[in-house]
Each structure stands twice: as C-alpha cells, then as structure tokens.
Structure 1
Amino acid sequence: MFATFLQGLALSAAMILPIGPQNAFVMSQGIRRQYHLMIAALCALSDILLICAGIFGGSALLDRSPTLLFLVSWGGVAFLLWFGWGALRAALSAAPQQLQAQVNKQSRWRLVASMMAVTWLNPHVYLDTFVVLGSLGGRLASAERTWFALGAVTASTLWFFGLAILAALLSPWLNTVKAQRVINGVVAMVMWGIALQLARQNLHF
C-alpha cells in the first residue's frame, strides 16, 4: 500500500511542479503576503476534489465525451491566452507601482474568485487529474486506489502551502519592480506556451 501511496505522491508532484496558472497565482499572493495561506488552502482543496473525482470515476466521463474534452481544452486555450496577456501587461506597465496598488486593493472575495478561475477554468487541471491520474488510479483495486489518491493529494497540499510560505519568506527580494517585471514576463511566456501546446494537440499537428 505504501508503494501505491508513493506512486501517487510522485506522479502528482511531477505534474504540479511546472509553472502554471495556479502556481503563478499562489506565488504572486505569497510575494504580496496577501491572504496567501488562504489561497494555498483553497487551491489544495480544489485539487483534492478534482483528484478524487478523476480517480474515482471522473476520467470515464471525459473518455465517453470527446466533445466535453474538446470544449474544456479550447476554453482553456482562451483562458491561458487571457491570463498571459494580463501578466504581460503587468510586466510592461509604465507605472508598476500604481498597478501594484490596484492589485493590493483587491478584496478577499475577489481573490477567491480569481483563484477559482485559475483552477477550475484551467484545462491542464482536468487533463492532469482526470486523464492522467484518473486513468492510472482508476485501474487500481479499490483499496490501492484510495492510497494512490491519498498520495496525490498529499503532494498537492504540501506543494501549495510550501510555495506560498516560501514566496512570503522571499518577499523582500521578489517584491521589487524589477523582480515583478521578470516574474510576470516569465509567467506570460509560460501561459502562452501552454496555450500553444494545447492548441496544437487539439489540431493534431
């Protein structure tokens, strides 16, 4: 059973480590020290729900509905392009201090809504949790499936809290105009790269 737990832990960690919308959002809130632990907790909770849904039957839903997978993927392409554009605007802003002040004025509920968007509108979340984790975990016996899911959600929870705390600790060095420009520029390029990859997969070339 412990081997199955480690398998779920390792696979989930491998998929969550690359920079994506969730990671970028958690990191940015950690750097600002603005509700970063709350955001990490909500991201972890969302991943727990998605991982369990994928492993305990959700993957079959996408397998039976190519149209749903198509809509999720192309909706995600549009979302990633929009997210990347927002990051690029922040990187190229002529008045980053003013832009930062506007960001800091966001209410807790607006941040929660943004977190929900970067999580539940991100197609990679469904591809990772439903297609990859779901297809592998769904083949296991009932008891092993539970341990696999436990390992996967443990990796997700540790990662989001670790990222938020580390970003907050590094805030004095990362919360500068130059660093923010670089971070936002990298996030924009990564988001557009993921969008291009998804589009190419959907167009089969």
Structure 2
Amino acid sequence: MTPATTLLPALLGLVTGLSLIIAIGAQNAFVLRLGIEGRNRVIAPVVIICAVSDAALILAGVLGMGALVQAAPVAMVVVRMLGAAFLVVYGLWAARRALRPGTLVVTGAPGGTGMRVAVGTVLALTWLNPHVYLDTVLFLGSVASQQGPAERWWWVGGAMVASVLWFTGLGFGARLLRPVFARPGAWRVLDGTIAVVMLALGIRLALGL
C-alpha cells in the first residue's frame, strides 16, 4: 500500500471521530471542569479513561458489536434510565454549586474533585450514556465497515487518535482558562451551564428523545 492509501482513511477517521466527540456533552463538560481545577494528578487518569473507552467502543463497533446492541433493546432501556438518573443528580449537584457560592471550587484549592469521585463520575458519564453506543459503536462501526479491508484499520486508528487528541487537549488545555476562573462568579457561570447541559441530557434520556 502507498502512503496515500493509508493516510487518507486515517485522516477520514480522525475527522469523523472529532466531529462526534467535540459536540458539547456531559463527558466534555466534566473533563473541562477538571481541567480548569488544574489538578493534573486527577486529570491524567480521566483523560486516559475517556480515550481508552472510546477506543474500546470503536473497536467493538468494527468487530460487529453494533448488531448485539440493536438486538438488546431491554438492556439499552436499563442503561438509558440509569444514565438519565445519574445525569439529573449530577446536574442538580452542579446547580447547587452555582447557587451556593460556599460550595464553589477555587482554582488550585485542595477541595477540588478527588480521584475516586473523578474516576467514578467519568466512568458513569461514559458507559451509562446510551448515545455513546449509538454514536460510537453503531455509527462509527458502520462507517468503518464501509472502508476496504486494508484501509479499515487505518480509519479506526485515525478515529482513536481523535479521542486521544481531543481529551488530552481539553483536559490539559483548560488550564489556559484559569485566570478567568480566579473569580468565583466565573465558576458560578460554568457550573450553571453544566447544570443546564446535564439536566437537559438527563431529561432527554428519560423521555427517550
């Protein structure tokens, strides 16, 4: 194979992966907040979990797990309701932080999100979101399957790289916003926005929209 025949599918996979990941969602909002808190010890494992989870889901789609997801509607309903409940609770938690300045996190303060809470939250936001199975397993899996046998894995590699680049940039690049979030008012706006996103997604999941 020539470099052109391998580079093109890899770039297509990269662009397709980014187009799905960059959309504002619960997972991105949570990673952004952790990044602004500036606790690299917590951010690193969260970024790794996000990237590895995406890679596993993309690989599952390519290997045909999408058909299994479609054949298990009851399981998807259970995941949907659990995900909806988690998002609503997290949204209310964010709303509480926004409405009560005493609960706000100050950048660099020791009261930021702890390791266990961060890891548990990102795992729930990733694996209890039924849309991740539809977007990553079904959609990306079907697009990858349309590639030629030789190009398919280059496309998959590009999509996986997209996850690594996005979550690394979001988690560690958010530190550039720290001067803005030195003011408690900025945290209130961020948490208010996160609350709206989480509650809207939770209600949408609960209603099956």
Q: TM-score normalised to the size of structure 2?
A: 0.84
For 1:187 and 1:174, the matched residues in 2 are separated by 15
User: Can you give the 5+ residue segments of structure 2 that lack an aligned partner in the other structure?
Assistant: 1-5
Q: Tell me, in whole angstroms, the C-alpha distance in 1 between the residues paired with 2:111 and 2:26.
A: 17
- Number of equivalences: 201
DSSP 3-state at the match of 2:135? helix
Aligned twin of 2:15: 10
Q: How far off its partner does 1:157 sit?
A: 0.6
| Residue of structure 2 equivalent to 1:104 | 112
Gaps in structure 1 of 5+ consecutive residues: none
Aligned to 2:61: 54
Instruction: Say whether the 8 Å CA contact 1:6–1:148 is kept in structure 2.
Output: yes
Deviations 1:119-145 (A, max 9, x none): 222222222211211222234343332
- Greater share of helix: 1
Q: 1:199 to 1:138 in 2, by over 3 A?
A: farther
- The percent identity for this pair of structures is 39
Are residues 1:166 and 2:167 paired?
A: no
Separation in structure 1 between the aligned mates of residue 73 and residue 163 of structure 2, nearest angstrom = 27
Does the alignment pair 1:147 with 2:154?
Answer: yes
Deviation at 1:174, TM superposition (A): 2.2
The 1-side partners of 2:162 and 2:36 are apart by 22
TM-score by length of 1: 0.85
Q: How well do the aligned residues superpose, as a CA RMSD in angstroms?
A: 2.4
Match of 2:121 among 97, 109, 114: 114
**Tell me, what secondary structure is at the counterpart of 1:44?**
helix
What's 2:142 paired with? Answer: 135
Aligned mates of 2:46, 2:9 — CA distance in 1:
29
